[in-house]
């Protein structure tokens, strides 16, 4: 356990009367990705802030990179990179200047800071925009620059607080690729997210928190097993055959499919149901125009883990 990259024991943080984090334990092994999953206000950001030495815990202890976050904050800061929820870059500097400044602050010489900036701009596909002020960047570009800024010092441990919030699907996938590359370079990552699919794609282990407490932890597979079903959504070439298709799906799955507009959806159980459904449709000569597999939404996750839906203000239309 001693060589864990991040180790937190009984972390507690109050803000006035509110308990933001209520006794969280957490271990992230070196080179691993931990996904901290939860709705808005669950305490994810406060956890990250405590581990990144920005907020002092009221109780509990944490070691990051082998150093205590309170007693050895300066040493911790030398090992981490932090990309917050809102891209914290300087809008009035160019992308290149932003990275150059971070390099200088970390003690690089001018030449080193310049070459590190160029290297990161290239790696994050920001070459073309390198000399434009960051305020002209798109959301995805800003996020990439923000991530690049966190990487100037080649941190061992990277905190990503809701890295893909507000990004379009393409920018999101681009970001995921970048994160995977970092992980393959050996960086330990703690990422917070509201999306199960994001945690599923990136994380080796998921910790689900709500109201400052851990309510589930395990590998993505284990979490998904506990949560259960994915959903198959179908659209037909010939929508006049929807009724027939619905009857066939009901026969194979043993449940009445949901019908939304011209689409049918069935929740899947077991690994043989999907091929069975497709085979049955094919045998009746029904042509499929659209086929989507949906992970449970965060709300469904919470429903199955806590027996209660996630608090309404956290419902996110993008979560699917």
Partner 1 sequence: MKASSPGLARSLDQTFSLAWRSLVQLRRNPWELGDYSFQPVLFLLLFVYIFGGAIAGSTDEYLTFMLPGIVVMNMMFVTVYIGHGLNTDLTRGYFDRLRAMPVARWAPLAGRILADLVKQAWSIVLLLGLGFLLGFRLETSVFGLLAMCVLVLVFALAFSWVMILVGILARDPEHVQIFGFTALFPVTFVSNVFVPIETLPVWLQGIVSANPVSVLTDACRGLLLGGPVWSPILISLIWSLAFAALFIPLSLMALRKRLGH
Q: What angle do CA 38, 83, 19 make, to 5 degrees?
A: 40
In the complex with partner 1, the residue whose CB is nearer, 189 or 248, is 189
Which two tokens mark 192?
């917070």
Reduced to 3 DSSP states, what percent helix, strand and coil does the chain have, rounded to the nearest 5?
A: 40, 25, 35
Verify binding: residue 154, partner 1, rule CB under 8 A.
Answer: no
Residue nearer to partner 1 on the CB measure, 88 or 247: 88
Contacting partner 1 (CB under 8 A), which of 7, 53, 188, 194?
53
Report the b/e string of 7-33 with b at 16+ CB within 10 A.
Answer: bbeebbbeeeeebbbbebebbbeeebb
Phi, then psi, of 248 in degrees rounded to 5: -65, -45
Residues 30, 41, 97, 278: which binds partner 1 (CB under 8 A)?
97
**CB-based contact 163:83 (threshold 8 Å):** yes
Q: Which of the residues 61 through 90 are near partner 1 (CB under 8 A)?
A: 70-75, 77-78, 80, 82, 84-90
**Which residue from 93, 244, 250, 274 is in contact with partner 1, where contact means CB under 8 A?**
93
**Per-residue interface string for the shown chain with partner 1, residues 98-137, x marking contact by CB under 8 A:** ---xx-xxxx-------------------------x-x--
Residues contacting residue 171 through CB under 8 Å, at least 6 positions apart: 138, 139, 140, 143, 164
Binding region for partner 1 (CB under 8 A) out of 96-104, 211-219, 258-266, 307-315: 96-104
Residues that bind partner 1 (CB under 8 A): 15, 49, 52-56, 70-75, 77-78, 80, 82, 84-93, 97, 101-102, 104-107, 133, 135, 149, 153
């Amino acid at each position: 356990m001693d060589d864990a990259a991040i180790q937190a024991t009984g972390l507690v943080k109050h803000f006035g009367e509110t308990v933001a984090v209520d006794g969280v334990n957490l271990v992230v092994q070196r080179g691993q990705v931990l996904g901290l999953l939860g709705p808005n206000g669950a305490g994810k950001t406060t956890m990250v802030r405590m581990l990144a030495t920005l907020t002092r815990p009221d109780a509990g202890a944490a070691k990051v990179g082998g150093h205590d976050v309170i007693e050895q904050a300066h040493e911790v800061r030398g090992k981490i990179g932090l990309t917050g929820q809102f891209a914290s870059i300087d809008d009035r500097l160019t992308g290149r200047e932003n990275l150059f400044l971070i390099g200088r602050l970390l003690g690089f010489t001018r030449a080193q800071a310049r070459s590190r900036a160029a290297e990161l701009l290239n790696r994050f596909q920001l070459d073309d925009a390198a000399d434009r002020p960051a305020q002209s960047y798109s959301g995805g570009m800003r996020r990439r620059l923000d991530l690049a800024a966190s990487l100037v010092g080649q941190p061992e441990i990277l905190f990503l607080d809701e890295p893909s919030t507000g990004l379009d699907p393409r920018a999101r996938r681009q970001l995921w690729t970048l994160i995977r590359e970092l992980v393959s370079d050996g960086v330990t990552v703690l990422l917070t997210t509201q999306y199960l699919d994001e945690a599923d794609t990136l994380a080796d282990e998921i910790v689900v928190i709500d109201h400052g407490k851990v309510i589930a932890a395990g590998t993505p597979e284990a979490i998904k097993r506990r949560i259960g079903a994915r959903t198959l959504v179908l659209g037909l070439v010939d929508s006049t055959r929807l009724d027939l298709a619905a009857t066939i799906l009901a026969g194979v799955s043993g449940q009445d499919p949901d019908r939304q507009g011209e689409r049918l959806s069935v929740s899947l159980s077991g690994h043989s149901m999907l091929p069975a459904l497709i085979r049955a449709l094919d045998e009746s000569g029904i042509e499929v125009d659209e086929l989507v597999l949906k992970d449970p939404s965060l709300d469904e996750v919470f429903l199955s883990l806590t027996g209660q839906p996630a608090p309404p203000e956290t419902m996110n239309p993008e979560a699917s």
